Amino acid sequence: MSRIGNSPITIPEGVTIEIQPKHIKVKGKLGELTQEYNDVQIKATDKFINISRASENKSVKSKHGLYRSLIANMVEGVSKGFTKELELVGVGYRASNQGQKLDLALGFSHNVLFEIAPEVRVETISEKGKNPIVKLTSHDKQLVGYVASKIRSLRKPEPYKGKGVKFVGEQIRRKAGKSA
């Protein structure tokens, strides 16, 4: 029994839901998202969305909680939005942006130019004495996470000194160096 799938989704003010037989469309002040679904039934009232299973097969049960989570993320995204922050740790590591182009100096012989998707807003924060921060904001949770992971993969944090691109608040497991 899926506890997540059975709980209703609250619809905030200003969000409209449009349900078709194979996909659901959610519109809000920050944008519009669409999700295809199958094997579940979606019913919307004025304030809540309820998701129920079509049958009791194992594959259908596994999709019940999944679709509930995806739709809940869509509703939250178009009303509030999602933010991911990346921190650049290392001497000489810098970040700047011109529109949707992110220019990163990550210790390579050249700067890395990274083109950001148009649905994601990028902002760079550089304060003296602190590590540069790249802030990504969008209404699509999956897209923000994907872009953030792509930026992080350019220079993952290494375990000895902790240098690299990491999420703000991420704990890096440190290793001891050579013992004398």
- pLDDT for 79-102, tens place per residue? 999 999 999 999 999 999 999 999
**pTM beyond 0.85:** yes
Task: Give the closest residue to 116 by CA, choosing from 127, 105, 104, 106.
Answer: 104
**pLDDT above 90 for 49:** yes
* Residue ranges covered by each domain of the chain: 3-79, 82-167
CB atoms closer than 10 angstroms to residue 78 = 22
Q: Answer whether 67's CB lies under 8 Å from 111's CB.
A: no
- The CATH class given to the 3-79 domain equals alpha beta
Q: Answer whether 160's CB lies under 8 Å from 179's CB.
A: no
- pLDDT for 110-161, tens place per residue? 999 999 999 999 999 999 999 999 999 999 999 999 999 999 999 999 999 9
Q: What is the CATH number of domain 82-167?
A: 3.90.930.12
Domains 3-79 and 82-167 share a fold: yes
